[in-house]
Each structure stands twice: as structure tokens, then as C-alpha cells.
Amino acid sequence: MKVLLVGVAIIMISLMSITFHADYSRYELTEQALKNEADKCASAAVLYFDEEAYGDGEILLKDDDAVKAVQGMLDEKCAWQLHLFDDSGRHRRYENGRVTAETDFSYPYSFEDETGYETVINQPAVIVTVSHESDFYRLDGVEEKTIKRSSMYTVNSR
């Protein structure tokens, strides 16, 4: 009986470790995919700026186009936040397409994004945070249900 119990325990532990390992691999892959999504959204959103203002030496990002770009790229696959910083001195925060905050700022500006990463804004910048919620782990007791990754693109030359 003792041998049977030990045998069943070994098989159960093996099954649990394989299940956890498979889930963790999927989690890791999703993390990387989300980072890539954040990268491509931020790099797309920073492309659109006001050409007239640029002629006057200012970089003013075009909110509508930036929002449309992120929306179009993500296609409602995950939740997102977009932060726009430019020479207007206004920090705009969009969440899933809607403005949720607008505040004044000036360079250099210390900013902490939704993932907790703190950065100093010294030039016009776009920060995109994407998050995805799912039951990544099949085993009880692993509470990790949300992956959140962010990416920042800055305009370095004028």
C-alpha cells in the first residue's frame, strides 16, 4: 500500500510539474508577444506629428492619428493605455481610445507608467502599455492572471 501511495504521489507531482511548465512557457511567450505589440504600437504612434508646428521648431504629436494607429494595430486584442508627451507641455493619457487624463508637464519630467517602470521624459515621447488578462495557469494557487508590458519611443532629432 505504501509503495502504491508513493507511486501515485510521484505521478501526480510529475503531472503537476509538466502542467506548470507548459503554462509557464505559454505565459513567457505571451509576455514576449505583448512586448512586441507595445513596441510596434509606440513606434507607429510616434510617426504622426503636426508638420506646420514642426516648421516652427516644435514637435506636436497628432492625438487622433496616434490613437487610430494603436487601435488599428491592436484590433481589440488587448487593453491599452497611450501616453503622449510633446512640446505642447500637455501630457495626454488615453485608455482604450478615450482620453482619461490631461495634465501639464515640462522637460525633464519623471513619469511612472502602468507597469511601474519609471523614466525621465526629456523630449517628445509616446508610451504604450498593453495588458492581457487570462487564466494562464491551470493549477490552483498560481494567481498570475494579467500580463502588462510597456514600450516608449522618443523623438531624438528635430
Binding residues (CB under 8 A) for other proteins: these are 3, 7, 10-11, 14-15, 17-18, 21-22, 25, 28-29, 32-33, 36, 40, 43-44, 47-49, 51, 62, 64-66, 68-69, 72-73
Query: Smallest gap, in angstroms, from Cβ of residue 47 to other proteins?
Result: 6
Nearer to other proteins, 28 or 144 (CB): 28
Q: Of 17 and 120, which CB lies nearer to other proteins in the complex structure?
A: 17
The nearest distance, CB 75 to other proteins, in angstroms, is: 8
CA distance 126 to 107: 14
How far apart, in whole angstroms, are the C-alpha atoms of residue 130 and residue 82? 9
Contact 142, 109 (CB under 8 A): no
Nearest distance from C-beta of residue 120 to other proteins, angstroms: 25
Q: Which residue blocks in the chain are alpha helix, DSSP H? A: 2-45, 51-55, 63-74
Residue given cell 528635430 in the structure block: 158
